[in-house]
Amino acid sequence: VQVPVKRVVLAKPEFADTIAQLGMADRLVGVSSINAIAVAPILERYRRGEVVEVGSGTHSAIEMALAVDPEVVFTFYSAFADSNTHPKLWDVGITGVPLADHFEPTPLGRSEWIKFVALFVNGERTADTMFAGLRARYEQLREVAAGVSTRPPVIVGWANSRQEWALNGGHNYFARMVADAGGRYVWDSPSMRSLDLADIEQIFHLSFDSEAWVGNQLGYRTLSSLVGSNDRLRHFGPVLRQQVFDNDGGRLPSGATPIANESLTRPDAVLADLIRILHPGLLAEPDLTYYRELPP
């Protein structure tokens, strides 16, 4: 790849704010789905017709990507080989670059992927500055939470089907973030993956004493509608205690959520939300940025 690249397609929305913060928005010519984008400069380029939707993972997506003639396509890296798009892109002569930030064991390690993306536009200095700032803010918050006297148990994820629960592995970056926020992640698996599957009765048992359920795009407006989707959830400890939070704060009418675009560039803000959820009153500013408490 000849850097700096001038035409980029982003098929991993988690990096949308990274692209904007690195000053790459004007090089962006395609995204996998505009409904996953909540970053203003990218939405504006889409409205002007300078960014197109290319889809993801399908033959049509590859044809669409070919049509916009990108120098690089940033894609989601999957542990399941058949689910990856980058080999298919390579086959047709496009430089597909898989991004595997979601496998990182620490939140700051995950944010360092900003530096990798910056290499494609010679933006190392900008990335270093960004990373130094977010690291300082993150570590400051972590020190605040390190002094808590109790570590409330926390469950994350969602009911993925009638029988299974999907959640971050016990050694995934999000488990570390829960610990950094002064919580105890109850799913103690050795996995670094962003998606472990567990039997729902096991999660019920583990989470019964959990102070909070920190959901990931649960898709329900209220606790009653959440229970309406799966009756057994009514027995879960955090549901009984009405301590369920979803990261859909600031959702746009399209369905896009800011956290899905900004969690790499603002891990400190995500950490602050978790501290506010687990230790109310510990931070001066009480309002949540990305999370929302589900009302009854």
Binding site for another protein (CB under 8 A): 33, 35-36, 55, 58, 158-164, 197-202, 204-205, 208, 217, 219-222, 225-226, 228-232, 235, 248, 251-255
Between strands 164-167 and 196-199, the pairing is antiparallel
In the complex, least distance from residue 54 CB atom to another protein, rounded to whole angstroms: 13
Q: Which helix (H) or strand (E) holds 184?
A: strand 184-185
Amino acid type, 289? T
Assess contact for 181 and 163: CB atoms under 8 A.
no
In the complex, least distance from residue 189 CB atom to another protein, rounded to whole angstroms: 9
Dist CA 244 CA 296 (whole Å): 10
In the complex, least distance from residue 133 CB atom to another protein, rounded to whole angstroms: 30
In the complex, least distance from residue 158 CB atom to another protein, rounded to whole angstroms: 8
146 vs 232 by CB, closer to another protein: 232
In the complex, least distance from residue 222 CB atom to another protein, rounded to whole angstroms: 7
141 vs 203 by CB, closer to another protein: 203
161 vs 242 by CB, closer to another protein: 161
34, 37, 38, 41 alpha-carbon torsion, rounded to 10°: -80
232 vs 241 by CB, closer to another protein: 232
213 vs 220 by CB, closer to another protein: 220
250, 175, 115, 248 alpha-carbon torsion, rounded to 10°: -10
Q: Which residue, among 25, 27, 117, has the nearest Cα to 68 in the 3D structure?
A: 27
Residues across the chain: 296
